[in-house]
Amino acid sequence: MIQSLTAEKLTVQRGSRRLVENLSFTVKAGQALSLEGANGAGKTSLLRLIAGLLPAGAGSVTLHEGDTEISEPEERGKYVGWLGHHDALKASFTVSEQLAFFSKLYGREGDEIALLGQVGLSRQAELPCRYLSAGQRRRLALARLLASRRPLWLLDEPFAALDTVGKALVARLIALHCGEGGLVIAATHESLGLSNETLRLGNAVLKL
């Protein structure tokens, strides 16, 4: 079980541009960290760096699992559940077929019906993904996140395209994940709906 994630003196950059410098923070099991800041402040790039998709300009990100420290980006990525801007859906697949694909990818076959019910897509199970609304596509992405069963959730604008009911669903899923000892880091302009730390990029001030 992952006890914590620690970032030490991170530099986040895209090309030659430095977005964040000398950034340090810790997220413990059961905690959520909200990333805030203006567009272009580096929120998505920081999430991608933590996920192992973007190299650090300097510094380190380490997951702590018992006495084991996991710093190598590819190994760290195996613990990450990712929710980004892109849905990664195949238009011709039905909702259930798409989720079955991701469940098999994560080695978690058999939970599709329950997961679709959990995100409110049971009635759309046999609907091709091309006919889904933006909010329904987001709900299917949430089901994919749940199917991953990864301890570290990295969420990029998790409330995007969702109505009030959908946003409440996201907040509830985040609370449940943290309640089960998971970790959440979310780039968002909205409240996560629970007590959490906030890291504002641009001035790198961590509010406890």
Domain harbouring 204, CATH code? 3.40.50.300
Domain that holds residue 22: 1-79+150-208
The whole-number average pLDDT for the span 77-104 is 94
Ramachandran bin of 107, using left for φ above 0, alpha for ψ from -120 to 50, beta for the remaining angles? left
The whole-number average pLDDT for the span 99-125 is 93
Q: Which of 62-71, 86-95, 135-144 shows the lowest mean pLDDT across its residues?
A: 86-95
Q: What is the pLDDT of residues 32-67, one digit of tens each?
A: 999 998 888 899 999 999 999 999 999 999 999 999
Q: Are residues 72 and 112 in the same domain?
A: no
Tell me phi and psi for residue 114, to 5 degrees: -65, -40
Domains held by the chain: number: 2
Tell me the DSSP string of 150-183. -SEEEEESTTTT--HHHHHHHHHHHHHHHHTT-E
Q: Are residues 142 and 157 in the same domain?
A: no
Q: Are residues 71 and 173 in the same domain?
A: yes
Estimate the share of the chain in helix, then strand, then coil, as percent rounded to the nearest 5.
35, 30, 35
Q: Are residues 103 and 124 in the same domain?
A: yes
Look at the chain and count its residues.
208
Q: Are 59 and 7 in contact (CB under 8 A)?
A: yes
pLDDT band at 203 (very low <50, low <70, confident <90, very high): low
pTM confidence score = 0.94
| Percent with pLDDT over 70 in the chain | 97
